[in-house]
Amino acid sequence: MNHFDTILIANRGEIAVRVIKTAKQMGYETVAVFSEADREALHVSLADKAIGIGESDVEKSYLNIDKIIAAALKTNAQAIHPGYGFLSESAEFAQRCEEANLVFIGPDSKAMAIMGNKTVARHKMLEANVPLVPGYDGPSQDNPTLQKEANRVGYPLMVKAAAGGGGRGIRIVKDPQHLITELEAARAEALSSFGSDELLLEKYIEKARHIEIQVFADQLGNTVYLGERDCSMQRRHQKVIEEAPAPNMDATLRKKMGDAAVKAAEAVNYIGAGTVEFLLCVDQSFYFLEMNTRLQVEHPVTELITGLDLVEWQLSVAAGEPLALQQDEIELKGHAIEVRLYAEDCECDFMPQTGRIRQWKMPVATGIRVDNGIVNEQIISPYYDSMLAKIIAYGATRELAIRRLTRALKDTVLLGLPSNKTFLLGLLQDHTFMNAEATTRYIEEQYLPAQQKQAAQGPGDSMWAIAAILLSRMPGTTGWRSTGTLSWPVRLKYQQQQRDVTVFQDGSAYRVEYSDDEIQNILILAESDGELLLQINGICCKLNVALDERHTVYIDNRSQVAMFEKLSFSEKQNQDTLGANLIAPMSGKIAEVKVIKGDTVNKGDVLVVLESMKMYQELMAQQEGLVTGVYIKPNQQVEVNMPLIDIVTSEQANDE
């Protein structure tokens, strides 16, 4: 038995909050760690103790093993829970905890090292007769060898970082001519993200579903599986929606996959919570992908259908206790679905966003759970992952869970920076998802292309009208009076769209007129704490709003969230020049500069690669032109809206 009464949580955000709550319920003392950026974060205030571990940069705080172990010893913690992300799958961290006589709440360093390297894991699974995707995982890493093996495996195929995870270091290659380029790109990303440029090749299986099995093992040799999760709704190999149990999964297939997952865990003498991921083919055959040696982001859906607290199981197993249930005692009831709420701009290639949260309201309803670590007025920094919260719904049936989650997401309010709320609502109401027919490539290959035309249309007239009213009421705005009614001209911008409107006010009644003679009549019935009760063209409705000091308004009408800027009438309206120059869309670090002054670029050319929130963003030219200024260099930190590259359009260059 391992005795401990104080647990340090070596993580942040919603997972730190999640672990702290269960640890307290079990009677443990909790210690939070925090970087400079997280000094006032929610997880810090919830823990019994908190200790700073360094600068905001993850390398100097949450990824610094020495500082975390020193923090545990200084606060008299006897155990460390790694959460997920950061050091949660670091075999070195687990080993260092063992050497410091600290209980690592997870598998031992040996099992973690085996499963943490995809190549080594494949070899181990082959020995254990766990089905593998055809591929190449040999020691030779030179391009000629990989090209030869790629031809043997066949196209399309996946290039994967052997030490990778989280969807990074992966490239899909459909054309042999592109293989070398993708190999070099995958190597660079793998080395930057994981410290290793080792690659492996796998056959790319089209129209596959991503099914993962939750396994648990104690220190006494007992291993069970707790059902499966379907994580097929993905974008860029990262999960967007997760649900349990998997739709169209019968008992026979569940047992086959569950037994294979247990076999995989037992092959490395696994202890604690783990997830074995598989690709499920149309013919019901399945292949091992990898094993995540930690708790998963999507663990709440498993908890809801099993009625179990997986963090409680983790702490009990780490203490040396046997599993609370045997395999035949585990029951799956009902259906649970989870969506991940991100700070990202879905209309600008899902670019992560930073800024201050102006309004945050969680849904409260039967069957709804929210895991989050954020508060109002919190600043979302560029240093960490952009996931802010998870909204989870449970119901007796999948249909009920979808309805509950859809309403809960509509009731969720996150204003102050762009989020993926509108995108998630669209997915939940998509026929392919509702019919449980989605595969791992569905979002990128079918859903998003179909949505592009609709997204280009932008918000409806009433949203523009409400934005004009709210921005016209900001301090410093003055109107002119005609026949007793105040009137203001307002110029608005949404994404790359601009619109001029005129706002007329008579008390709480407003009339908004557009240049195309469209008229919106709006009556403000009540307003409180950012919530407005309006009558729009005779129909009453509620919506949430937030304004910031930059003359920007955020509007959430439950089904759609939009951000509008107020422009000066002195600003140019020429759509051809909008976006010619490149500015930083978020704070971050310059990873690569691909042009120099004097270069000619075409629309779509990559100019700069920006690293922010653990993601690499390629910033592209919006039109053809000549580079006249480059203001940044690799490894330089930049702030949002900072000028990066100046481009003169071809016409302007000719004029000069």
- Alpha helix segments (H runs only) across 439-581: 442, 448-457, 461-472
What b/e sequence results for 240-279 when a residue is b if at least 16 CB atoms lie within 10 Å of its CB, and e otherwise? bbbbbbbeebeeebbeebbebbbbbbebbebbbbbbbbbb
Tell me, what's the pLDDT at 165?
Answer: 67
Strand-pair category, 588-593 with 480-482:
unpaired
**% of the chain with per-residue pLDDT over 70:** 94
Q: Which fold has domain 461-567?
A: Glycoprotein, Type 4 Pilin (3.30.700)
Confidence check: pLDDT of 479 > 80 = no
Q: pLDDT-derived band of residue 496, with 50, 70 and 90 as boundaries?
A: confident
Q: 3-class SS at 402?
A: helix
Which range (113-117, 463-467, 471-475) has the least confidence? 471-475
Alpha-carbon distances, residue 354 vs 63, 130, 278, 322, 416 (angstroms): 21, 43, 34, 44, 9
Amino acid at 142: D
Confidence check: pLDDT of 580 > 90 = no
Tell me, what's the pLDDT at 575?
Answer: 42
Q: Which fold has domain 6-105?
A: Rossmann fold (3.40.50)
Tell me, what's the pLDDT at 572?
Answer: 47
Q: Which fold has domain 210-457?
A: D-amino Acid Aminotransferase; Chain A, domain 1 (3.30.470)
Confidence check: pLDDT of 240 > 70 = yes
Alpha-carbon distances, residue 529 vs 545, 546, 638 (angstroms): 9, 9, 34
H/E element, 513: strand 509-514
The backbone torsions φ and ψ at residue 366, rounded to the nearest 5 degrees and listed phi first, read -60, 135
Q: Which two tokens stand for residue 596?
A: 């120099």
Of 616, 622, 585, give the one whose Cα is nearest residue 604. Answer: 622
What residue ranges in 334-484 does DSSP mark as E strands? 335-342, 344-345, 351-352, 355-356, 359-361, 368-372, 379-380, 387-395, 413-415, 480-482
Residue 512 φ/ψ region, left for φ over 0, alpha for ψ in the -120 to 50 degree band, beta for the rest: beta
Tell me, what's the pLDDT at 118?
Answer: 84
Of 93, 36, 105, 38, give the one whose Cα is nearest residue 69. Answer: 93
Hey, how many other C-beta atoms are within 10 angstroms of the C-beta on 56? Answer: 16
Residue with tokens 């000549």: 626
Q: Where are the domains of the chain?
A: 6-105, 134-203, 210-457, 461-567, 582-655
Contact 79, 6 (CB under 8 A): yes
Q: Give the mean pLDDT of the chain.
A: 91
Q: Which two tokens stand for residue 202?
A: 């796998």
Q: What is the mean pLDDT of residues 1-8?
A: 92
Q: pLDDT-derived band of residue 603, with 50, 70 and 90 as boundaries?
A: confident
pLDDT tens string 193-218: 788 899 999 998 888 999 999 999 99
Q: Residue 613 contacts by C-beta under 8 Å, 6 or more apart in sequence?
A: 352, 354, 382, 383, 384, 385, 386, 586, 588
Q: pLDDT-derived band of residue 578, with 50, 70 and 90 as boundaries?
A: very low
Confidence check: pLDDT of 455 > 90 = no
Strand-pair category, 29-34 with 6-9:
parallel
Rounded Cα–Cα distance for residues 441 and 287 (Å): 17
Confidence check: pLDDT of 573 > 70 = no
134-203 CATH: 3.30.1490.20
**% of the chain with per-residue pLDDT over 90:** 73
CA Rg value for the chain: 26
Confidence check: pLDDT of 555 > 90 = yes
Of residues 180 and 192, more confidently modeled: 180
pLDDT tens string 161-185: 988 766 678 899 999 999 999 999 8
Strand-pair category, 79-81 with 6-9:
parallel
Q: pLDDT-derived band of residue 636, with 50, 70 and 90 as boundaries?
A: confident
**What one-character DSSP code corresponds to residue 444?**
I
Alpha-carbon distances, residue 384 vs 352, 374, 414, 472, 614 (angstroms): 10, 13, 18, 36, 7
Q: pLDDT-derived band of residue 577, with 50, 70 and 90 as boundaries?
A: very low
Q: pLDDT-derived band of residue 483, with 50, 70 and 90 as boundaries?
A: low
Strand-pair category, 413-415 with 359-361:
antiparallel
582-655 CATH: 2.40.50.100
Q: pLDDT-derived band of residue 626, with 50, 70 and 90 as boundaries?
A: very high
pLDDT tens string 45-88: 999 999 999 999 999 999 999 999 999 999 999 999 999 999 99
pLDDT tens string 386-403: 999 999 999 999 999 999
pLDDT tens string 299-320: 999 999 999 999 999 999 999 9
Q: 3-class SS at 301?
A: helix
Tell me, what's the pLDDT at 236?
Answer: 84
Hey, how many other C-beta atoms are within 10 angstroms of the C-beta on 601? Answer: 21
Confidence check: pLDDT of 576 > 60 = no
Rounded Cα–Cα distance for residues 163 and 168 (Å): 10
Tell me, what's the pLDDT at 456?
Answer: 59
Tell me, what's the pLDDT at 475?
Answer: 57
Q: pLDDT-derived band of residue 651, with 50, 70 and 90 as boundaries?
A: low
Cα torsion 391, 396, 397, 399: sign? negative
Residue with tokens 């179990």: 308
